[in-house]
Amino acid sequence: MPDLTAAEARVLDAVDDTWLLDRLRELVAVPSVGGTAAESDAQHLVAGWLRDLGADTDVWAVDLVDAATADDAPGQEVVRDEAWGVVGTLGGAGEPGLVLCGHTDVVPAGDPELWPGDPFAPRLDGGVLHGRGTCDMKGGLVAALAAARAVAAAGVPLVRPLAVHSVVGEEDGGLGAWATLRRGHRGAACIIPEPTAGAVMTANAGALTFRLTLTGLAAHGAMRDQGVSTVELFGHVHAALREFEASRQRDVERFAGTALPYGLSIGTVHAGDWSSTVPDRLVAEGRYGVQVDEPVETARAALEAAVAAACAEHPWLADHPARVEWVGGAFASGRLPQGSPLLPAVRTAVVDAGRARPAERYVPAGTDLRLYAAAGIPTLHYGPGDLGLAHSPREQVPVADLGHVARVLALTALRQCTVEA
């Protein structure tokens, strides 16, 4: 075992695995899909737990008008009547020495027939908890709460505060993190316990949502040769986008779990209005990866140029080019500054909590990391579960990972918050 101080040993002992699992089950049972009333319910549930820990708790209604009009707003892909921010702060004075941030919103569960049971009825099987949000990322958020609870229970005086940020809207742009930072909640460093499968993630690729609109020529289906089908036109554009996607992949070895860290995926396609009419309009929406350190404007220009080039070489599209629009959430890339002491601090805590020194990787998905990093707060990801299982009917988190991450976060928090800035 590593040489721990008495205070560090007390903090590790104070992590309550039963409390953690019970709270996670309770939170997963709240179907907090983005844009639903349950998204707010989950925030108020977390706020109550923070108050129970004795945290100074700030709960506020996010200004949705501001979020829709501010120049730096991250965008949203769902309609909200309300949104709530929640921040709990424990001990110390001045700027928090560490922020632990997690989001309570989840993506829709999809086809219920693909799940072995109700996705919002958490199921424990063989030391693994199954259900929507277990790893993305209610497991990480509850691990952060368990870490804060352990620090408080250990009774170690903090020189600097420990803060927990519970946010909404991460899945569709980052509304909650943006609103939390805009309210003035900051810190010397931040850990976001998104699922990392045992690695430490120090950078995230960005992601943009785009819309393609193609215009063809309608005709009776019996004489389709007299028309121009947008479905067929889309086949040409989509093939060009696949080549464009392949040309943008780089540093693949730095990313975990994918050969396409800067993936371009078409999520929806809508064409035509009558089965026996050649479709003259097609609208497709998709997700497009932004390279680490690539400005969003540069990424947008690259996609627009690729679509324009594809259209220029097609006899119809040359005169009727596809229209590209940028809609919904916009995730820039982000990274932990080179040489930040936060990376060795977390790696040391992982070892001290009983596991091997973790590898450093990048996450291929857009996350709230980039918002904290853009605010000048060194930020990384280390959390329970595997991102490859997120957004799927196989979503799950190992119970052992929950307790381990809670201990890593508790050790890191203690060390960050018991030293002078």
Average pLDDT score over residue span 143-150: 98
pLDDT given at position 54:
96
Structure token pair of residue 23: 């709270």
Q: Which of 230, 296, 267, 281 is nearest to 110 (CA)?
A: 267
Q: Percent of the chain having pLDDT more than 70?
A: 99
* Best CA proximity match to 247, nearest among 264, 234, 268, 265: 264
Question: How far is CA 271 from each of CA 267, 283, 295, rounded to the nearest angstrom?
Answer: 14, 6, 32
| 212, containing H or E segment | strand 206-215
DSSP-derived secondary structure letter, 398: E
89-144: per-residue pLDDT in tens?
Answer: 999 899 999 999 999 999 999 999 999 999 999 999 999 999 999 999 999 999 99
DSSP string, 115-132: SSS-TTS-EEETTEEEST
Total count of residues recorded for the chain: 421
pLDDT tens digits, residue range 331-351?
Answer: 999 999 999 999 999 999 999
* Confidence at residue 75, expressed as pLDDT on a 0 to 100 scale: 85
**Closest listed residue to residue 383, CA positions, set 130, 257, 204, 196:** 196
**pLDDT value, residue 1:** 57
**DSSP output for 54-102:** T-EEEEEE--HHHHHH-TT----SS--S--EEEEEEESSSSS-SEEEEE
Which residues lie across from 61 on neighbouring strands?
A: 84
Return the bridge partners of 192, or none. Answer: 381
As a whole number, mean pLDDT of residues 253-261 equals 89
35 Rama sector, left if φ>0, alpha if ψ -120 to 50, beta otherwise: left
CA dihedral 397, 122, 191, 299 (to 10 degrees): 80
Determine the pLDDT at residue 421.
59
Tell me which H or E stretch contains 201.
strand 200-204
DSSP state of 112: G
Paired sense of beta strands 162-167 and 84-90, if any? antiparallel
Model confidence, pTM: 0.93
Q: Does the pLDDT value for residue 256 go beyond 80?
A: no
Report d(CA 410, CA 408) in Å as an integer: 5
**Residue 56: other Cβ atoms inside 10 A:** 13
Work out the number of other CB atoms within 10 angstroms of the CB of residue 281.
14
- Give mean pLDDT, residues 61-87: 94
What span, in angstroms and rounded, lies between the C-alpha atoms of 421 and 419? 6
Beta bridge partners of 190: 99, 379
6-14 vs 399-417: helix axis angle to the nearest 10?
A: 140
Confidence band (pLDDT; 50, 70, 90) for 419? confident
Mean pLDDT of 181-197: 98
Q: How confident is the model at residue 258 (pLDDT cuts 50, 70, 90)?
A: confident
Position of tokens 């988190």? Answer: 397
Give per-residue pLDDT as tens, 384-407. Answer: 999 999 999 999 999 999 999 999
Read off the pLDDT of residues 271-324 as tens digits, 9 standing for 90 and up.
Answer: 999 999 999 999 999 999 999 999 999 999 999 999 999 999 999 999 999 999
Structure tokens at 57: 């708790």
Average pLDDT, the chain: 96
Confidence at residue 328, expressed as pLDDT on a 0 to 100 scale: 81
State how far the Cα of 376 lies from the Cα of 387, in Å rounded to an integer.
Answer: 26
Contacts of 298 (CB under 8 A, 6+ apart): none
List of domains in the chain: 6-204+333-417 (3.40.630.10), 206-331 (3.30.70.360)
